[in-house]
Amino acid sequence: MTAIGRPDLSDIHAGDWVDRRLPSAWRPYTRLARLDRPVGVWLTLFPCLAALIQASHGFPALWQLIVFCLGALLMRSAGSTVNDIADRNFDAHVERTRFRPLASGQLRTRQAIVFLVVELALAASLLFFLSPYTRLIAFCVLPLVFIYPLCKRFTHWPQAVLGAAFNWGMLMAWAEVTGHVPAGAVIMWIGAIAWQIGYDTVYAYVDVKDDTRLGLKSTAILFGRRGKSWVGLFYAFTVASWSLGGWLSGMSLPYAAGMVVIAAHLAWQTQRIDLQRPELNFRLFLSNILTGMLLACAALAGTW
């Protein structure tokens, strides 16, 4: 995210690979799907991979890896499209987002809706490779995907809704591999929601002035100057939940070592937060790709 007057943190970076390599007609759709900003894909994918590894108690089947990787990519892209459709009028008044395809007029709403239908159809095609129980769980996430963009209008907790949707693949992974979703998997998912509330709050502080001016809500606005402490609490809850969930899932001692590493990394993030430095907060947000990677590695180590 970016604050007013910080074009270096803008969503759109002119002259990047999208501008250099893609036909002009493709560029707005590529940016609408956030393919030029894949951080969301990694943040969605790594917890899902961790769940696949835990459920399989080792390396999952190749076809499962392919299906869930594609699912993370497509659903994150569809969610981004829904978000931009809902926020197109707000985005035009925020420095970070005013160059997005819908906000800047590069695409019309009707074009974005057609693109969304295509994205959802591609994602739905992956369900043919999954069990009926997993398909049922997959359909249950759709209300969250469509409700999230509206949450910032009436609650300070849109990050919680986003966290539930972003990490839904964790529940699907267990359903597909084992045929049920045990308590340990649910606790791991709850920990991922807490993690997302933490890092997305850091993200939201970059836009807090614009959001306040527009009458929108976020955890950053709710926490105010106490944001650093609140983020630390959510990160602590994350580590506790992942530790308990891993134990209930039968993870071995190396998993606990992985939790220590994750705890140290999240503590470092919390210590570094500076509510007055949006560029630093943005970098700390990006560092959570490493958190997700560490979780997947800890899950793999826990199967030894």
Task: Indicate the pLDDT class of residue 272, thresholds 50, 70 and 90.
Answer: very high
- DSSP assignment letter at 128: G
On whether the CB atoms of residues 160 and 237 are closer than 8 A, the answer is no
- By three-state DSSP, how is residue 121 classified? helix
- Predicted structure pTM score: 0.92
Please give the structure tokens belonging to residue 27. 């560029």
Backbone angles phi, psi at 151, to 5 degrees: -60, -35
Count of residues in the chain: 304
Work out the percent of the chain whose per-residue pLDDT is above 70. 97
Query: What is the overall mean pLDDT for the chain?
Result: 92
* Three-class DSSP labels, 166-235: HCHHHHHHHHHHHCCCCHHHHHHHHHHHHHHHHHHHHHHHCCHHHHHHHCCCCHHHHHHHHHHHHHHHHH
For the stretch 60-101, pLDDT in tens is 999 999 999 999 999 999 999 999 999 888 888 777 788 889
Residue in this structure with the two tokens 């560490």, named with its chain if needed: 294
CA dihedral for 154, 159, 160, 161, sign (positive or negative): positive
Report the C-alpha gap between 181 and 146 in whole angstroms: 24
Say what the pLDDT of residue 4 is.
Answer: 35
Please give the structure tokens belonging to residue 7. 């074009």
On whether the CB atoms of residues 176 and 137 are closer than 8 A, the answer is no
Say what the pLDDT of residue 276 is.
Answer: 84
For the stretch 138-189, pLDDT in tens is 999 999 999 998 999 999 999 999 999 999 999 999 999 999 999 999 999 9
Average confidence (pLDDT) over 243-257: 97
Asked if residue 263 has pLDDT above 80, the reply is yes
Say what the pLDDT of residue 9 is.
Answer: 59
Q: Give the contacts of 147 (CB within 8 A, at least 6 positions apart).
A: 161
Domain boundaries, the chain: 38-77+129-301
Asked if residue 32 has pLDDT above 80, the reply is yes
